[in-house]
Amino acid sequence: MSFVKLKASLIALLATGLGVAHAHPHLRLAYQLDPLLEQGRVTGLHVSWQMDAQNSLLVRENIDLNQNGVLDPDELQAFAQTNQALMSQFNYFLTLEDGASKKPLSFETTPMTARDAGKGFQGGIYLEFTVQLKTATASTDFQMQLQDPTWYIGFEPRLGKVLASASACQSSFTREKRLTPTQGEQEFQRIHVQCAAGSAAHPEAQLSPPKGPNNGVNS
């Protein structure tokens, strides 16, 4: 199958219904964040999305083009590139604000990567990328809204924890419900991350677990 046909099939798999009202999300992504800091200022964050088990299974069935039972690096990379092209249209469902001034923060992202962590509780297909702020914040905290305006994708913190690792940062999030003109009542998540002054920058991270047995089950 050519890359063009692969791209079309993936958009059909994950994007069918974008722009159409749904009663509930059809794709669930469990997220975790890892803030990047330099000289006490927030410069960006690593973002990790874990696809739910059902959609991870669908992805494995649809992108294993050589049908060898393994998701090869080129298959995963094509999947990541397709989703980056799609999600960039929605600004990755992210809205960032400086925690002190409440001013919007513009950002760029690194190329998205995809990983297969196998089956099991923490397995699944992971999509990861790095958000790089165009201007580092003057403070050590930021606020973020995470929400898909089409309500096709639902977000939840992975294992109930917004941050991926114990660090000098703390987080909290609240849920808000708003009535939208075309999509009915939707839930928004507002996430607040605050880091201790002088926190050091984190190295480039892979937030998803490596592929391997998960709770005794492997793909």
pLDDT at 3: 39
> What is the rounded distance in angstroms from the CA atom of residue 21 to the CA atom of residue 18?
8
Tens of pLDDT, residue by residue, the chain (219 residues): 443 344 334 444 454 433 344 446 788 899 999 988 887 788 889 999 999 998 999 898 889 989 898 899 999 999 999 999 888 888 898 889 888 888 888 999 999 999 999 887 778 999 999 999 988 777 778 888 887 777 778 888 898 889 987 567 888 888 777 776 666 676 777 888 888 765 554 545 555 555 543 333 333
> What is the rounded distance in angstroms from the CA atom of residue 118 to the CA atom of residue 60?
10
Burial (CB < 10 A; 0-12, 13-18, 19+), residue 57, is: middle
pLDDT at 111: 94
Q: Where are the beta strands (DSSP E) in the chain?
A: 27-38, 41-51, 94-98, 107-109, 113-116, 125-133, 141-146, 153-157, 169-180, 184-195
pLDDT at 199: 53
Which of 120, 107, 59, 112 shows the shortest CA–CA distance to 83? 112
Supply the angle between the helices 73-87 and 53-63 in degrees, to the nearest 10: 120
The pTM for the full model equals: 0.77
Which of 45, 59, 7 shows the shortest CA–CA distance to 146? 45
User: Which of helix, strand or coil describes residue 17?
Assistant: coil
Residue type for position 193: V
pLDDT at 43: 87
pLDDT at 47: 94
Say which DSSP state 12 is in.
Answer: H
The sign of the dihedral angle between the CA atoms of 188, 51, 158, 95 is: negative
> What is the rounded distance in angstroms from the CA atom of residue 140 to the CA atom of residue 196?
7
CATH T-level topology, domain 27-51+92-195: Immunoglobulin-like (2.60.40)
